[in-house]
Structures are given as structure tokens and as C-alpha cells.
Amino acid sequence: MSIEKTSLTPTIDDLQFTSRHDLEREVAELRNLVKEMKLGKTVDDVSGLANRGNFLDQANAEFSRARRYGHELTLVVTDILNLQRHGEEHGDTAPDQIIMAVAQMCLSSSRYGVDVLGRITENQIAIMLPETPLAGGLQFMSRMRRVVTETPIMLDNGSQVKPGIKVSADMLRPEDDSFMDLFQRTWKRTKKNPATKKSAVA
């Protein structure tokens, strides 16, 4: 797996339409996209956290700072499970509601103004913990598991959901040449780690 910044530069090939209405809609979407690019959009619309590009910029800066001054640095990756199933059972907006709720749980467990949080894939949230040893990252993982497993998420359809998550942590190592070395190692740990108890619906 690799995470790369992708170009958002629109071209005329992006405009596909079969009627005047389609053309007007496509032009409006294109204008919004150009506006976001001009504003240098940095926030993920669903989670309210830093978007992927913004998170990577901050993570790379924290990595360089930790390297320069010999500080400890820990990364935590949270994988939200069963989003597709919840969408099928509770409607198309359910996954976004779950992502938003889990993002708020991550924020409540983190240090305001210190830790760096971002939504890096559809179902993954990364938390960079500056000047934090691995033990601190493991404590953060424990808090996250407890909060998510004990806090039901109320969906718009009235259902209460407790989504499963997988969480992993790793710290900066001397052999890491870039932030992506740390990320790849932490991401692989996430895939191996056991999930919290299966998602429950009330």
C-alpha cells in the first residue's frame, strides 16, 4: 500500500454530460473544485480532521523535527471496520456518520494543539504523537479501544451502532529514512492486530 498526493487539476476531459442540465451540474462541480484548490483546502469534509495531503505535510514536518532534535515520535493508525456493511444496513449516510463520530473520539483522546490527526484513507485515521514514546502510543490505543467499544453511535435512522476498530502503534526508529517508513510499518501492524469485539447494533 502506498499513500501519495494525487493531482486535482481538472481538465475538459473531466466534463461528461448528455444534457444541458448535466453540463450545468458538471460546470458547477468544476467551479467548486477550482475554488477548493485556490483556497488550499486542508480539512476532510466528513471527519473534520486534516485531509490526507495536509496530514502528510504535518507528519513529514514532525518527522524531520524529531530527527533533527532527537525527539521521540509515535504514530497510531486506527482502522474503522464494517463501514460498507453499515451502509447497506442503515443507509448510504451511515458510514460518514460513523467516521465523523470515531474522529471525534480520536480528538477527545488526543492532546489539543500537540497531536496531529488526519483521515488518510476512506476508513483510516492516523494520529501522530510528537515527543511521545511507544508506551504513550500504547496508552492512547487503550483509551481509543475503550472509548469506541463503550460509546454507541446514534445514526440518523435511530439505530445505535458500536463499530469495530483495529488500532496499531509504532515509534520512530533510527533506520527510518522518511515518515513513510514509519507509516508502512504501523499500517502493517494494524492489519495483523485483532479487532475490537465485532460491531454491535442496538
Q: What is the pLDDT of residues 21-59, one digit of tens each?
A: 666 766 766 665 565 555 568 899 899 999 888 899 999
- Reported as a pLDDT band with limits 50, 70 and 90, residue 5 is very low
CATH 3.30.70.270 domain position(s) in the chain: 52-201
- This prediction has a pTM of 0.76
Among 137, 141, 135, 144, CA closest to 103: 144
CB of 52 closer than 8 Å to CB of 58: no
For residues 164 and 100, the model is more confident at 100
Compute the 3-state secondary structure of the chain and give helix, strand, coil in percent, each to the nearest 5.
Answer: 50, 20, 35
3-state secondary structure of 92: coil
Average pLDDT of the residues in 168-192 = 91
Using CA atoms, how far residue 96 sits from 32, 37, 60, 109, 163, in Å, is 21, 23, 27, 20, 12
CB of 60 closer than 8 Å to CB of 12: no
Q: Identify the CATH number of the domain defined by range 52-201.
A: 3.30.70.270
Which tens digit of pLDDT belongs to each residue from 113-160?
999 999 998 999 999 999 999 999 999 999 888 898 889 999 999 999
Q: Beta-strand (E) ranges in the chain? A: 73-80, 116-121, 124-130, 153-154, 160-162, 165-171, 200-201
Average pLDDT of the residues in 160-178 = 93
CB of 54 closer than 8 Å to CB of 118: yes
Question: For helices 52-69 and 179-192, what crossing angle results, to 10°?
Answer: 110
